[in-house]
Amino acid sequence: MKSPVPPTTVRDILVERLESLLAECDRVMDDAQFGQIFHDLDDFLLVAGKKFLQELYQEKLQERIQQAEQNAETKQCSDCKKKTEYLNTKAKTFISAHGAIRLKRQYRYCSCCDTNFFPVEAAFGLTTPHTTALTRLVSRCCGLWSYRLAAENLQELCGIYLSHTTVGNIAVNTAEKISDRLKDNADIRNTFQKATGEIEFYADGVFVHTRNDEGKAEYREFKIGALVKRECGAFALPSEWATRKLPDPTVVSAFASIVDKEEFQERCQKMRRTLGVGGVSSALGDGAKWIWNVSQVVFGKSDECLDIYHGAQHISDCGKVLFGESQASKDWFERMRLVLLSEGFPGMERELQLLGTLEEKQQATVDTLLEYLKNNAQRLNYAERLAMGRAIGSGLIEGACKNLIGKRLKQTGACWRVPRANRIAILCATLYSNQWKQAWKNTY
């Protein structure tokens, strides 16, 4: 059986379609109302222009496939190199960044190997139904939006029609590949090394709704770690802590995963090695012991700082027990927060002891606050850090809990299997750390 003769008029076909497109542009502009030519032509080309590029892509690729199928190499078996028999031509739909295209390929049979195959598939990269460019678009959308919203936005913005299930599967399957590309990535290391400022380490956790292997819903903690470089700001007094302008980070590298403390510690070690970091200048957290333990094991001794917002929240809670929901409670809180910022633990210990005799519940609350502050006494050097222009709050990691994980993985009704949640978190962390271009370098 003879193979079909490849078309020789692809250029003519495309020129004819381009002329038709240009004629339609003239028609749209002729029919436009006064003041609408600019807008109507834009709307028309948004759809028709994409369709033309889609047709161009399909026709040129089909032309090259048919040319290749005339070569002797494509008529040989890739394993035994014996000549194969042409069976028929089959069409298959592939999804690209320009939309769906349908390509015909020769189907051949090797009697020696007793194998049927499409010779051009490997050479043309047709072994996958999706192009790299499409995968990049889908993965980025899934790192920002739910599967369903990602599918809707791909349709609206790119004219790509995929089900939300397909969109999710593409993103999940791509996440591990992105993670592998970022391991020991020289560009990421160089970017971090060249950035200016002191190195800060942040860690925190946020709970996400998951479903275990038995199908039971439960909440699991995403542990988030971040290494940041930030230049010191200007000198500030304790009374100026809320109004001072702290410089933005010059570089951020973050990750998030549902893991235990030991695995999280190992992830921090890998991040440290990838970025070429020895120690850190500061470690900031909410007071959880596991954060300080990880920081000390991975980075050694550093200037640890209890997040001022968490410390202040404990003071506020104590004030409400002492004075109720009143103006006196607010005034006491404002004064105690300034004492904490100015004098740290010694000042707070003095002020709490001056409260005198209290009711049992009030005394228990004061004792709890005092114990909390005592456990973090060496991490309350706010006045010194403000004078040096350093951060005293873990707002960056709190923002990561909200923006890196919360917006994407804590949506209403969402319930995740842990492996899938961890993979989507890879996409979220890559975007949050501004490492997307490095993850896709040399792809297009």
Domain 187-307+393-434 CATH class label: alpha beta
Instruction: Check whether 316 has a pLDDT greater than 50.
Output: yes
In the chain, list all ranges with CATH 3.30.420.
Answer: 187-307+393-434
pLDDT at 401: 85
pLDDT at 64: 95
- The tens digit of pLDDT for each residue in 227-254 reads 999 999 999 999 999 999 999 999 999 9
Q: Can you tell me the mean pLDDT for 39-52? A: 95
- The tens digit of pLDDT for each residue in 218-229 reads 999 999 999 999
pLDDT at 186: 92
pLDDT at 1: 42
pLDDT at 444: 54
d(CA 83, CA 139): 41
Instruction: Check whether 73 has a pLDDT greater than 50.
Output: yes
pLDDT at 2: 47
Q: Can you tell me the mean pLDDT for 388-400? A: 88
pLDDT at 399: 82
Q: If pLDDT is split at 50, 70 and 90, which confidence band does 9 have?
A: confident
Q: If pLDDT is split at 50, 70 and 90, which confidence band does 8 have?
A: low
Percent of the chain with pLDDT over 70: 98
Percent of the chain with pLDDT over 90: 87
d(CA 268, CA 262): 10
